[in-house]
């Protein structure tokens, strides 16, 4: 058995990262590359910055432009990754959107759009990648991005809460069916992180102050706060960690 630090290394591994173009996905893609993985970066807008950073670390970066909310994307992402790299070892289901409105006014479109990207897309891509991992016969790592709203209700974000609560449940059933194939499925629940996703909250002085007052660490999280957790869950160091949703939240849930 190799030393413990070596068990965190991802040399020779291939990671599919959805939503790799900015925010938390960009940070985690770069962290996985820093630990040794080549990256298949899924995005819809512009992912050039992420790829530049991955390549600067000496890893390969494959750009895959695909809307994860569309059914055909799951097969396309898996097939293009395998065609280019020969295998896939890690899937990071990070792509996500949020819509804000009062529950009584919440539109069907804002319900469907969020569910399609945050839940159905995650399900379909996990299914396609898990099939490939089973075919490869060498196990794998699937990491889903959950939220504080996997644990709590939140306000004005009902489709997001529904989707992220479901992500935590799906992480458990995927574990039950995939752990026997040596595929570890876990989730990360980030706390309140400073990205585009939370810009509206930080722009609202009252909400910003309320949120900060509740975070024991006393600050918003940053994408790099997830580096250690994502590399751990992607690596052999977490081989007996299954079905768990790990909060990285500056203590928010302890309050
Ligand atoms: P962000 O800055 O808004 O970035 C969202 C990412 O998702 C972008 O890379 C975007 O890519 C991608 N994306 C959105 N729709 C997509 C689609 N249909 N197909 C493919 N990619 C798509 O958000 P973030 O804060 O980094 O959030 C990343 C994940 O963490 C999300 O699942 C979010 O729910 C979760 N999260 C965030 C926080 C937080 O406080 N920020 C807390 C808990 C959980 P393009 O721009 O290229 O479309």
Per-residue model confidence as pLDDT tens digits over 147-176:
999 999 999 999 999 999 999 999 999 999
| Catalytic site positions | 160
Q: Is the CB of 124 under 6 A from ligand 1?
A: no
Q: How many CA atoms within 13 Å lie on the side-chain side of 29?
A: 35
Helix or strand or coil: residue 88?
Answer: coil
Residue 123: count other Cβ atoms within 10 Å of its Cβ.
16
Which DSSP state fits 181? G
Q: Is the CB of 161 under 6 A from ligand 1?
A: no
The whole-number average pLDDT for the span 212-227 is 97
Q: Indicate which atom in ligand 1 lies nearest the CA of residue 160.
A: 34
CA dist 186 and 162 (Å) reads 18
**Residue 40: per-residue pLDDT:** 99
Residue 229 pLDDT grade (very low, low, confident, very high; cuts 50, 70, 90)? very high
Fold for domain 5-194+224-248? Rossmann fold (3.40.50)
Q: Is the CB of 168 under 6 A from ligand 1?
A: no
Q: Is the CB of 197 under 6 A from ligand 1?
A: yes
Q: Ligand 1 centre from 164 Cα, in Å?
A: 13
**Residue 246: per-residue pLDDT:** 98
Q: Is the CB of 163 under 6 A from ligand 1?
A: no
Compute the residue count for the chain.
255
CA dist 23 and 254 (Å) reads 25
Q: How far is CA 49 from CA 29, 46, 59, 93, 199, in A?
A: 11, 8, 14, 19, 20
Cα four-point dihedral sign 156, 157, 159, 161: negative
Q: How far is CA 208 from CA 23, 101, 191, 247, in A?
A: 19, 18, 14, 20
The whole-number average pLDDT for the span 38-45 is 98
Which residue has its alpha carbon closest to ligand 1 atom 46?
45
Q: Ligand 1 centre from 25 Cα, in Å?
A: 7
Domain extents in the chain: 5-194+224-248
**Residue 1: per-residue pLDDT:** 59
Which residue has its alpha carbon closest to ligand 1 atom 10?
19
Which residue has its alpha carbon closest to ligand 1 atom 8?
19
**Residue 2: per-residue pLDDT:** 79
Q: Indicate which atom in ligand 1 lies nearest the CA of residue 192.
A: 40
Q: Ligand 1 centre from 195 Cα, in Å?
A: 9
**Residue 217: per-residue pLDDT:** 98
Per-residue model confidence as pLDDT tens digits over 89-146:
999 999 999 999 999 999 999 999 999 999 999 999 999 999 999 999 999 999 999 9
Give the Cα-Cα-Cα angle 208, 210, 215 (nearest 5 degrees).
95
Q: Ligand 1 centre from 20 Cα, in Å?
A: 8
Share of the chain above pLDDT 90, in %: 99
Q: Is the CB of 184 under 6 A from ligand 1?
A: no
**Residue 243: per-residue pLDDT:** 98
Q: What is the mean pLDDT of the chain?
A: 97
Per-residue model confidence as pLDDT tens digits over 1-37:
579 999 999 999 999 999 999 999 999 999 999 999 9
Neighbouring-strand partners of residue 16:
40, 91
């Amino acid at each position: 058995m190799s030393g413990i630090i070596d068990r965190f290394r991802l040399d020779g591994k291939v990671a599919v990262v959805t939503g790799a173009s900015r925010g938390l996905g960009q940070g985690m893609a770069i962290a996985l590359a820093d630990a040794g993985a080549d990256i298949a970066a899924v995005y819809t807008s512009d992912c050039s910055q992420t790829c530049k950073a991955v390549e600067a670390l000496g890893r390969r970066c494959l750009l895959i432009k695909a809307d994860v909310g569309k059914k055909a994307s799951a097969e396309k992402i898996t097939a293009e990754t395998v065609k280019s790299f020969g295998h896939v070892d890690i899937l990071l289901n990070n792509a996500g959107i949020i819509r804000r409105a009062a529950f009584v006014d919440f539109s069907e479109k804002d319900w469907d759009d969020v569910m399609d990207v945050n839940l159905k897309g995650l399900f379909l891509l996990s299914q396609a990648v898990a099939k490939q991992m089973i075919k490869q016969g060498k196990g794998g790592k699937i990491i889903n991005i959950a939220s504080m709203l996997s644990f709590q209700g939140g306000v004005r974000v009902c489709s997001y809460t529904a989707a992220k609560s479901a992500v935590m449940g799906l992480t458990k059933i995927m574990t039950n069916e995939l752990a026997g194939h040596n595929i570890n499925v876990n989730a990360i629940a980030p706390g309140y992180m400073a990205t585009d996703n939370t810009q509206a909250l930080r722009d609202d002085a009252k909400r910003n102050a309320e949120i900060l007052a509740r975070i024991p660490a006393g600050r918003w999280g940053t994408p790099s706060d997830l580096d250690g957790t994502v590399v751990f869950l992607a690596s052999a160091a977490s081989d007996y960690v299954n079905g768990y949703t790990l909060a990285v939240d500056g203590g928010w849930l302890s309050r």
